[in-house]
Amino acid sequence: MAVSDFCTAAPRSLPRDTPVEAALHLLHAGEPEPLVVVDEQGAALGLLGAAEVVGGVLQTGRDPAAVAVGEVMRHDFESARDDEEVAPVLRRMRAAGTRVALVLDGEGRPVGVLHFAELLRVLAQALGGGGDA
């Protein structure tokens, strides 16, 4: 089974020079985390969520309008190709201690997110365990 069979829709992406203030508005409006920071060709460079905004901007007293998302994004994130088999990706996620992997196409552009909990729910349903809990 390929990763693309289990991933959610592509997350919102932002160019690396987007002010953190704009990302804050998206997060406050309920945009799902993580936001993906991309280069000029749309390839993923990093991830941005509430933790990066709080730790990289708000706790340091920096002005969110003057800081680019590329300055505070998380560089270390788990990723998988959309055509990759699920089992090795799950092993990597488990070894890295992460519950989310960014799913990329052959050009490195984000096409979805693989959530460990969602995959477990789908597998439980496939094995007849329900998954409604």
In a domain, 132, yes or no: no
Cα 30 from Cα 101, distance rounded (Å): 20
pLDDT in tens, 95-124: 999 988 999 999 999 999 998 887 777 778
**pLDDT of 124:** 81
User: For residue 64, what are its two tokens?
Assistant: 């969110």
In a domain, 44, yes or no: yes
pLDDT exceeds 90 at position 19:
yes
In a domain, 101, yes or no: yes
Single-letter residue type at 77: F
8-34: average pLDDT:
89
The sheet with strand 35-38 has its strands ordered as: 13-15, 35-38, 44-48
β 13-15/35-38 pair status = parallel
Q: What is the CA radius of gyration of the chain?
A: 16
Tell me the residue range of the domain where 74 lies: 3-126
Total count of domains within the chain: 1
CATH of the domain at 122: 3.10.580.10
pLDDT in tens, 29-41: 887 888 999 999 9
Q: Higher-confidence residue: 124 or 74?
A: 74
pLDDT exceeds 60 at position 131:
no
User: For residue 47, what are its two tokens?
Assistant: 């991830």
pLDDT in tens, 56-69: 898 889 999 999 99
Is the separation of the CB atoms in 115 and 8 below 8 Å? yes
In a domain, 131, yes or no: no
pTM for this one?
0.82
Cα 119 from Cα 76, distance rounded (Å): 22
In a domain, 64, yes or no: yes
